[in-house]
């Protein structure tokens, strides 16, 4: 099969940002393969400057699982940058995102894909909304407060924008403005482009190995600044043009007449 045909056949690209998750990733990849059985998919892991032997573990896994594509940042660039690397290299019609720590359950991917497909072309994003979060009490309250503030300012009708489980149309994803922490504002950014968002409840689960790479205080101030930045971006988007393709059709007719 040619590379162009192989790319055309991919329906779902699963983008997985990960740092120092050597023990979680092989099992997570097995779960993704099981969840997407029957669909043409690829899994893209972005190893974000890991200091353990994640890269070697993933290279061994890729040797026996051709659906895995592996990218490596020589130094850690953060979760948003890792997601962007995956999106820019994805070949599927849909892009599914999931955290590399194993707390997101890929068994919900079929539900998210079904919700997106059912909504039609007007829907750009199916977003997971976590139930029964397994984070600490303090972290849960901090997250709840942040989501409430974000919802009040951005009006994105999303209870939990920080859930890693999301499915977007790739062409919509590529239109979104990029900045650090963009993955926390995807519903508002998708709405900014004129598309709708649907939500699917998902159940959080415990981390099996390792510890969280993301704290609360190290992102609180930046998160507030980003929030008002996204608010500004939405305010500056005055209208969504309804475009009719005319010149391309005429050009093709002219080419055919020669």
Dihedral sign, CA of 229, 231, 233, 235? Answer: negative
pLDDT at position 144: 61
**Using CB atoms within 10 A of its CB, is residue 29 exposed (0-12), middle (13-18) or buried (19+)?**
buried
Cα separation, 235 vs 229, in Å, equals 10
Rounded CA-CA distance 105/100 in Å is 10
Q: What is the pLDDT of residues 202-247, one digit of tens each?
A: 998 878 776 665 444 445 445 666 776 666 666 666 555 565 555 5
Residue 3 pLDDT exceeds 50: no
Share of the chain above pLDDT 70, in %: 69
Span 104-129, mean pLDDT? 95
* pLDDT at 183 (0 to 100): 79
3-state SS class at 193: coil
Percent helix, strand, coil in the chain, to 5, is: 45, 20, 35
For the chain, the structural domain boundaries read: 3-257
pLDDT for the residue numbered 159: 72
The pLDDT value given to residue 143:
59
The better pLDDT of the pair 249, 73 is held by 73
Residue 4 predicted with pLDDT over 70? no
pLDDT in the model for residue 138: 47
Q: Nearest to residue 108, comparing CAs of 3, 22, 14, 202?
A: 202
Q: Specify which residues 97 forms β-bridges with.
A: 15, 166
Distance between CA atoms of residues 146 and 80, nearest Å: 18
Q: What is the pLDDT of residue 178?
A: 86
How confident is the model at residue 229, as a pLDDT? 67
Mean pLDDT, the chain, integer? 81
**What was the pLDDT predicted at 232?**
63
The most confident of the ranges 91-95, 185-189, 192-196, 226-230 is 91-95
pTM: 0.78
CATH 3.30.470.10 fits 3-257, yes or no: no
Q: What is the pLDDT of residue 56?
A: 95
Quote the longest CA-to-CA distance of the chain.
71
Q: What per-residue confidence (pLDDT) applies to 215? A: 47
pLDDT (tens digit per residue) in 34-73: 999 999 999 999 999 999 999 999 999 999 999 999 999 9
């Amino acid at each position: 099969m040619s590379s162009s045909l192989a790319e055309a056949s991919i329906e779902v690209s699963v983008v997985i940002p990960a740092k120092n998750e050597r023990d979680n990733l092989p099992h997570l990849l097995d779960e993704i393969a099981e969840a997407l059985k029957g669909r043409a998919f690829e899994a893209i892991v972005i190893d974000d400057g890991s200091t353990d032997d994640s890269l070697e573990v993933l290279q061994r896994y890729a040797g026996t699982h051709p659906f895995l594509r592996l990218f490596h940042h020589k130094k850690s660039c953060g979760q948003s940058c890792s997601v962007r690397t995956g999106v820019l290299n994805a070949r599927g019609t849909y892009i599914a995102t999931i955290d590399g720590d194993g707390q997101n359950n890929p068994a919900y991917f079929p539900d998210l894909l079904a919700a997106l497909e059912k909504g039609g072309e007007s829907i750009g994003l199916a977003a997971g909304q976590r139930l029964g979060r397994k984070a600490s009490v303090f972290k849960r309250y901090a997250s709840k407060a942040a989501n409430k503030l974000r919802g009040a300012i951005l009006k994105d009708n999303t209870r939990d924008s920080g859930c890693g489980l999301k499915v977007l149309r790739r062409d919509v994803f590529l239109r979104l403005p990029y900045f650090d922490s963009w993955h926390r504002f995807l519903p508002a950014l998708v709405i900014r482009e004129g598309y709708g968002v649907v939500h699917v409840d998902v159940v959080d689960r415990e981390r099996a190995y390792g510890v969280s790479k993301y704290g609360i205080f190290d992102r609180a101030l930046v998160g507030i600044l980003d929030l008002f930045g996204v608010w500004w971006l939405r305010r500056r988007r005055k209208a969504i043009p309804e475009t009719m393709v005319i010149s391309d059709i005429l050009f093709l007719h002219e080419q055919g007449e020669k």
